[in-house]
Chain A
Amino acid sequence: MEAAAVVTASAGAVLLAGLAATALLAERVASVAVLAALLLLVCLRAHSPLRRVYLAGAILPGLALFFLWPVLGTEGYHVLWSGPQVPVLGTLDVTVEELGGAALNALRLIAVGLAFTAYALLLDHDRLLASASFARRSALAVALATRLVPTLQRDANGLVEALRGRGLAVEGLAGHARLLSPLVAGSLERAVNLAEAMEARGFGRATVTRAPRPPWRAHDRLGVAVAAVLVLAGLLWL
């Protein structure tokens, strides 16, 4: 991990999981905002070219939730804005209570997304895998799924480029929806090829060894303790 200078991968994963869990448990907007800001600062340490993509994936759904929640919600009595009547949805209005709920839940979603971003961009998943001695296959599946994001992004870019090369613009929802089926088919094809390569490389043999890894240090133990305290605080006070 680039952040391995601070904590090892497994301690880092526990800490990030603790921060995400605290954000979900906390009830105050300010508390969740502080956690989201902290996670954003951690994410900004990553120098990956994919940082922007991951950050957009973490923040945009939260912003969408913030704007949709008050309009679609039916909570509270202090109306700030009253809009037109829409079939099925009823009257569109925004209340103070809805704004508060929107901010809290949007920040929660953003915090969880940022925790995943930090996990994907900063942690050494290989070390995480190596430390998962009792559930190695599951840990490997998670590590491979994490790698799927950049691979899918690369495939999507390649597909858009191939279509543009034929004079076809990929625009709007319909244009991007067209990419979905070939991307899924391509991912399945890659999965089969990867399974074949792993079999040929001896994956699944009864006797395996592990390359030596550095042991846990005081920082790692401190990181796990901080995660536990944060979750407790989120449950009781934040």
Chain B
Amino acid sequence: MAVATLDRVTFTYAEGAAPALVDATLTLEPGELVAVLGPSGSGKSTLLRSLAGLVPHFHGGRFSGRATVVGRDTRAVRPAELAGDVATVFQDPEDQVVMTIVRNEVAFGLENVATAPDEIWGRAEEALKAVDAGHLAARRTTELSGGELQRVCLAAALALRPRLLLLDEPTSQLDPDGAEVFLRSASSLGSAVVLSEQRVVRALDFAHRVLYLEQGRIVLDAPNAAAREWLLEHRPAYAGAMCVANKGNDLSDAVVQIENAWFSYGDVSVLEGASLAVRRGEIVTLEGPNGSGKSTLAKLAAGLLEPQQGLVRRAGRAGYLSQDPGRYLACERVDDEVALGVGGDRDRAYAALDQFGLAWAAERHPRDLSSGERERLGVAAVVAGEPDLLVLDEPTRGVDPERKAELAAWIVRYAAAGHGVLIATHDPTFPAHRRISLGGRVTEERVAA
């Protein structure tokens, strides 16, 4: 018997002009893992919300068609009543954690769905171990990294032993190994799993079936092998590795040089004698697992941190794009946000917005934009000042493959114009002249253009 069905579901958010989901029809069987792919704003999250009953109950809006989940019509039951049979892991772990201590966080959902009290701690412990987070049980949730929190959120969902598990970009803050453990845990549950992902290759490795959405419509619903062929033919950016070619630029003087840098946060040593140079015209990536010091080294290069020992020399101005830039916007209007970094120069602000396809939104409030648009606004705000050294920290997190390819192409052009670019990333397909791997032994690989 199907775990869930959508029958011609169309939904428009209360504040939306166009439907976010159009005529969606779908059946989910027990044990299958379905990957949901598509550009930002294509309706992936809305599809998951309609399966969780959050659409229309939590968001309001116009809903038509029928969604049946574990035998119940979602219009007739509240999402809280579906909890337990359905579990959701949302995109940002910091926005879903309720409790202070990790084991209590995992127990929170079990208590809500009236699990027998003498089972609760055992199931919480078992779920934490399943995602390799047993050692975090007594830790405070406010002191965990984003990746650790994502594993705790999955444990909280797994502990419910749901029949339908909904994962909305759940591995965005995990390194490749962590993401693999995460998805293996989710797929071993035996439930129907719906996984919305922007890291397409990994999602395809685990999925039995693939949906591809565009403008709210399911334009592809096919088994894995057939879906790969369709993607390769129709949406090549979603079919595998990035296909942006790097250029063999003429490299000139170093725009930043770090020598023997040491840095620690309290008692935790992160960098021990790290050295790095980025030259004009060069793209260098910093890779490695969570906690290997990529962000710290990037911040030293950008001048946001000073090494506790060692030397950093910069020639020219550095610009730094933080992780999750869409969250850190300071102004009430999009054009003001970009003009802020260029002394209020509107012409430069509009040129930067135009470059990232956001000129149409110049007078909007930044928080009215979609998450993908906000990310692009963050990039535009940093590059408007044309820094000599551009430092990007996880710039592809949550970015769809087509936008990622556009960003990569732009970065290649930016470097070719004589700027240095340093990128901290989990994405090994990003174009680079050199890839530096941190964590354990530092290795460096020169990449042919």
Q: Which residues of A contact B (CB under 8 A)?
A: 48-50, 124-127, 129, 140, 143-144, 147, 150-151, 155, 158-159, 161-168, 178-179, 181-182, 185-186, 189-190, 193-205, 207-212
Contacts and interface: CB of A to CB of B under 8 A. Distances in A.
A200 B83 contact: yes
Given A202-B112, A208-B112, A212-B118, 4 more contacts: A198-B98, A199-B57, A201-B108, A201-B112
B156 A201 contact: yes
Interface stretch (B2-10, B73-81, B227-235, B246-254): B73-81
Contacts of B327: 155, 158, 186
Contacts of A185: 367
Contact of A167 (B79, B109, B114, B341): B341
Interface string B96-131: 101111001001111111111110110010000000
Q: Which of A48, A163, A207 has the largest count of B CB atoms less than 10 A from its CB?
A: A163
B313 interface: no
B339 to A, nearest CB: 11
Contacts of B116: 209
Contacts of B94: 151, 190
B71 to A, nearest CB: 18
A213 B341 CA distance: 53
A33 B206 CA distance: 63
Contact of B367 (A50, A189, A208): A189
A147 B142 contact: yes
B378 interface: yes
B92 to A, nearest CB: 7
A211 B382 contact: no
Interface string B23-65: 0000000000000000000000000000010100110000000
Interface string B330-369: 1010000000110000000000000000000000000100
B321 interface: yes
Given A165-B321, A167-B319, A205 B113 contact: yes
B107 A211 contact: yes
Contacts of A200: 52, 54, 79-80, 83, 86-88, 90
A126 B111 contact: no
Nearest to A123: B100
Nearest to B142: A150
Interface of B: 52, 54, 57-58, 78-81, 83-84, 86-88, 90, 92, 94-96, 98-101, 104, 107-118, 120-121, 124, 140, 142-143, 156, 266, 299, 302, 304, 317, 319-322, 324-325, 327-330, 332, 340-341, 367, 378, 381-382, 385, 387, 391
A186 B325 CA distance: 12
A207 B94 CA distance: 27
B345 to A, nearest CB: 13
A120 B78 CA distance: 34
22 contacts: A126-B100, A129-B99, A144-B98, A158-B327, A161-B322, A163-B328, A165-B302, A165-B320, A165-B391, A166-B319, A168-B341, A181-B332, A189-B367, A193-B96, A194-B96, A194-B98, A199-B79, A200-B52, A200-B87, A202-B84, A208-B111, A211-B121
A209 B115 contact: yes
Given A197-B96, A199-B78, A209 B120 contact: yes
A209 B114 contact: yes
Given A168-B340, A190-B94, A210-B117, A203 B319 contact: no
A190 to B, nearest CB: 5
A158 B328 contact: yes
A200 B79 CA distance: 6
Contacts of A126: 99-101, 104
Contact of A196 (B54, B140, B332, B367): B54
At the interface, is chain A mostly helix, strand, loop or mixed? helix
B367 A205 contact: no
Nearest to A207: B114
Contacts of B99: 125-126, 129, 143
A158 B52 contact: no
Name the residue among A164, A178, A200 with the largest chain B CB count within 10 angstroms.
Answer: A200
B102 to A, nearest CB: 10
B248 to A, nearest CB: 29
Contacts of A163: 328, 330, 340
Contacts of A144: 98
Nearest to B365: A185
B100 A182 contact: no
* A-B residue pairs, 10 tightest by C-beta: A202-B83, A165-B320, A202-B112, A166-B341, A197-B96, A193-B95, A162-B328, A126-B104, A211-B120, A150-B142
A229 B325 CA distance: 53
Of B79, B92, B266, chain A has the most CB atoms within 10 Å of the CB of B79
Contacts of B121: 211-212
A208 B99 CA distance: 16
A149 to B, nearest CB: 9
A211 B98 contact: no
Contact of A209 (B78, B111, B302): B111
Contacts of A194: 95-96, 98
Contacts of A178: 330
Contacts of A182: 328-330
Q: Which of A50, A179, A185 has the most CB of B within 10 A?
A: A185
Contacts of B328: 155, 158-159, 161-163, 182
Contacts of A161: 299, 304, 320, 322, 328
